Amino acid sequence: MHETLSNLPLLSGLPAQVLVVLAMVSAGGIILGCIAVGGMFFIWSERKVAGYIQSRYGPMYVGGWHGVLQSLADGVKLLLKEDIWPEKADKPLWRMAPLLVFLGAFLSFVVLPFGPNFVGANLDIGLFYVMATSSLVVMGVISAGWGSNNKWALYGALRGAAQVISYEIPLGLALLPVVMSTGSLNLGTIIQAQAGWIHNWHLLNPLFFVSFWIYVISSLAEVNRVPFDLPETESELVSGYHTEYTGMKFAFFFLGEYADMFVVSAIGVTVFLGGWYSGIPALDVPALFPLIFILKSFFLVFVQIWLRWTLPRLRVDQLMYVCWKVFIPIALANLLLYGVIRTVLS
């Protein structure tokens, strides 16, 4: 990107180091803007979907048509709100927590492949990188719970830690067969393996079918959505780890959650749903690639929202049961089966 910047006449005289920093800052700014706008859109759409599922309208006034700017108004309200600090909070941890939660989602956006040339950093270990950064969220959750000096928040944080750490294992195991198949952790390469007609998508490959379901369900747990929203559980733990947060800090938690939802959906699309390919070769023109990718991700986000407003939540021990006694054995068996079949076929 800094090469592009150096070609601009205004900046051509600047030294290369400054240009690199400028490029990084502007790229970060673009991603931040995208997350903010996308997060607001998701929050609005979640409220609308919830409303219609529950026979009501949801936001209707701010911004004209069906309250599209409601989230913006809420954001402004949260910005202007008083920032309340618990007296005995662990200040550094308390202040750091929302940033850590947000950072986890933010860093993952860098490698999301919106198109063959439309990616922040085309890392060869892209998938691994996403798995690593998304577990940064749990650091934020723990420090929020501990730093708040609130018993309910502490409960939420401990539940969150146990949950996210446990569910990374089936999540990773579910992705491994695909990695074995494509022989690469690069997200772009994984997508290119699914080019052509729709039957090339990994979802429609019977060998990856189980993987897909394990991935989708574990990703719900990874981003703390119903039926695995135990760190928040507003009916049990008041509001879980962000009980004590107000104003902009709370907004960061909220935005981070929705950005995370998009990240796991995008990875699901990349690995199983053909990424930027539409499934019909005639439609696969480079200009449409980002649009197709984003639409598919939106669909998975919509499914997450849909599930949230349908299901009750699990109990903490059942959550662990589902992870360790159902998903991990199945995922391991699936991996083994795939390895055997692959070896036999080759």
Which chain residues interact with another protein by CB under 8 A? 49-57, 60, 151-152, 155, 226-227, 229, 233-238, 306-307, 309-318, 326
The amino acid sitting at 119 is V
> What is the 8-class DSSP label of residue 323?
I
Q: Determine the Cα–Cα distance for residues 38 and 33; give it in Å rounded to an integer.
A: 8
Question: For residue 144, what are its two tokens?
Answer: 């929020």
Q: Determine the Cα–Cα distance for residues 204 and 106; give it in Å rounded to an integer.
A: 31
Q: Which is nearer to another protein, 100 or 331 (CB)?
A: 331
Burial 259-293 (b: 16+ CB within 10 A, else e): bbbbbbbbbbbbbbbbbbbbbeeeebeeeebeebb
The amino acid sitting at 177 is P
Instruction: Give the three-class secondary structure for 57.
Output: coil
222 φ, ψ to 5°? -65, -35
DSSP string, 90-110: -HHHHHHHHHHHHHHHHHHGG
Query: Shortest approach of another protein to residue 125 CB, angstroms?
Result: 33
Torsion, Cα of 179, 196, 273, 295 (10° steps): 140
Query: Shortest approach of another protein to residue 150 CB, angstroms?
Result: 10
Q: Which is nearer to another protein, 236 or 284 (CB)?
A: 236
Query: Shortest approach of another protein to residue 209 CB, angstroms?
Result: 13
Query: Shortest approach of another protein to residue 246 CB, angstroms?
Result: 16
Q: Which is nearer to another protein, 86 or 116 (CB)?
A: 86
Of 135, 173, 207, give the one whose Cα is nearest residue 324: 173
> What is the 8-class DSSP label of residue 85?
-
Query: Shortest approach of another protein to residue 286 CB, angstroms?
Result: 34
Q: Which is nearer to another protein, 53 or 207 (CB)?
A: 53
Q: Which is nearer to another protein, 41 or 306 (CB)?
A: 306
Q: Which is nearer to another protein, 241 or 293 (CB)?
A: 241
Q: Which is nearer to another protein, 62 or 316 (CB)?
A: 316
Query: Shortest approach of another protein to residue 227 CB, angstroms?
Result: 6
Q: Which is nearer to another protein, 119 or 161 (CB)?
A: 161
Query: Shortest approach of another protein to residue 317 CB, angstroms?
Result: 7
User: In angstroms, how far is CA 147 from the centroid of its own chain?
Assistant: 24
Question: For residue 157, what are its two tokens?
Answer: 């944080």
* Residue 293 near residue 114, CB atoms below 8 Å: yes
Query: Shortest approach of another protein to residue 153 CB, angstroms?
Result: 12
Q: Determine the Cα–Cα distance for residues 12 and 220; give it in Å rounded to an integer.
A: 47
